[in-house]
Amino acid sequence: MNSSDNGASQTRVPWTIRDMVYAILATLGIMALVLLGAVVFAIVAAILGVDIEALDFRLLVVITPVVQALMIVPAWWWSVRKYRVSWRALGLRRFPWIRGLAFIALGLLTILAINLGWAWVMERFELEGQPDLVPLFGEGLGGFLVAFIAAAIVAPVAEELLFRGFLYRGLRDRWGIIAGAVVSSVLFALFHLVPGVIPAIILMGLVFAALYELTDSVWPPILLHGVYNGLAIVMAYLNAGT
């Protein structure tokens, strides 16, 4: 077993820049296939006269979490599978709870400040922000639960394993902390496909990378990511109900 399996931050991980490029391309391929599948499904449904709106909720319940979970596959394929290391090499290891929770709280305050500042910038320059998720997932408890599971549970695990546990860790070992954090955060922002919020998401990615660095674990970034996304979903549905 590779020595990086011990998960120590001082140990160089085995995956290479080429592995990371392949993983990013594979993730893009997964996203493209999902979009293509959605288009094909819509065309076939239209030909058959199927009422797509009647199927929306059931499809979202199954498809959304599965698609997000698939982002784990490239990171696993070019690390755990290829080099026969454990998941600890991707950062899934214990961390000091008291210090970790303190950093998570500080990180949450930082991200909230970032978003407040960027909201002012978007309003000042009339930039388009994140799309409203409530119409996508549907109103009511059912829509809220699907949105919450997808955004606050599945997405944080998948995205943090890919962008922090795999990309940041690999880039940091080869290019240093600053370059690794910046490049992985830029890629993290670009994958969200919303130009108006890219700067804010880059800054959030830097916070997640710093949290990973401070705790030597991907769990704190996952928890912070989940708390932030969960709060965003709760606020979106509360505002929709007013």
**141-169: average pLDDT:** 94
- Residue 227: CB atoms within 10 A of its CB come to 17
The pLDDT value given to residue 2:
42
Amino acid of residue 215: T
What is the reported pTM? Answer: 0.90
Q: Give yes or no for a contact between 4 and 13, defined as CB atoms under 8 angstroms apart.
A: yes
**160-167: average pLDDT:** 98
The pLDDT value given to residue 101:
97
Least confident of 72-76, 89-93, 98-102, 124-128: 124-128
Buried b / exposed e along 206-216 (16+ C-beta atoms within 10 A): bbbbbbbbbbb
Q: Residue 57 class from Cβ within 10 Å (0-12 exposed, 13-18 middle, 19+ buried)?
A: middle
Please list, in sequence order, all residues whose beta carbon lies within 8 angstroms of the beta carbon of residue 220, skipping any fewer than 6 positions away: 95, 100, 103, 104, 107, 211, 212, 214
* Max CA pair span of the chain: 59
Asked if residue 7 has pLDDT above 60, the reply is: no
Amino acid of residue 90: L
The pLDDT value given to residue 194:
86
Q: Give yes or no for a contact between 34 and 197, defined as CB atoms under 8 angstroms apart.
A: no
The pLDDT value given to residue 56:
56
- Residue 63: CB atoms within 10 A of its CB come to 15
For the stretch 55-78, pLDDT in tens is 555 565 567 777 788 989 999 999
For the stretch 170-211, pLDDT in tens is 999 999 999 999 999 999 999 988 888 999 999 999 999 999
State how far the Cα of 71 lies from the Cα of 68, in Å rounded to an integer: 6
Name the nearest CA neighbour of 180 among 55, 35, 9. 9
User: pLDDT-derived band of residue 53, with 50, 70 and 90 as boundaries?
Assistant: low
